[in-house]
Chain A
Amino acid sequence: QKEVEQNSGPLSVPEGAIASLNCTYSDRGSQSFFWYRQYSGKSPELIMSIYSNGDKEDGRFTAQLNKASQYVSLLIRDSQPSDSATYLCAGGNTGGFKTIFGAGTRLFVKA
């Protein structure tokens, strides 16, 4: 069973700090990785996609991928209370038609 593992948290950071979310995956054939944000009672919203080793930045968000270590991370700079949510890490499987999700990490940003 191909898996995506995340620390369930909760991760608590003060407003303005950097939040660091981490994820590991088992499918070495995975080529695409995603971070979704899910507010309580709502559906997941895509915030970042990453396909190549290294860093990808979009506003306050930076996704990092290390395929050799099978590791994906998301950094949120200048964290805001509105960033408080569950963050889901996901990876496309080797065949490419399915996306496997981790259980999510709950993030709390304290004002």
Chain B
Amino acid sequence: SQTIHQWPATLVQPVGSPLSLECTVEGTSNPNLYWYRQAAGRGLQLLFYSVGIGQISSEVPQNLSASRPQDRQFILSSKKLLLSDSGFYLCAWSWKGRGTEAFFGQGTRLTVV
């Protein structure tokens, strides 16, 4: 069976500090990978998606970046965090192919102070 691991579960970071969130998928190969952000009481905003190693598509202009150094590893980064970067960050994967459902990791609750 497939599993997705995301860490850490919670994170408190000062403004201006760097960020690195990591996500790995097990039990499948060549998945589509996604980073979403959910602000309090809001829906999920797609930040980045990747269809393969080194292939990253950005959905929203921001000071975040994503990388996919290995087939089943997806990393979300920032060089300098802003207060507005606070939120619930979710990594997800889906099967290859169009219109397939996404499966989520446990999420990282980031608070920038």
Contacts and interface: CB of A to CB of B under 8 A. Distances in A.
B90 interface: yes
Interface class of chain A by DSSP: loop
Given A95-B98, A96-B98, A43 B104 contact: yes
A98 B107 contact: no
| Chain B contact surface mostly | strand
Counting chain A residues whose Cβ lies within 8 A of the other chain, the interface size class is 20 to 34
Interface residues of B, number: 25
Interface of A: 4, 30-32, 34, 41-46, 49, 51, 88, 90, 92, 95-104
A98 B37 CA distance: 14
A101 B44 CA distance: 6
B46 A97 contact: no
B66 interface: no
Given A92-B98, A96-B97, A98-B49, A43 B43 contact: no
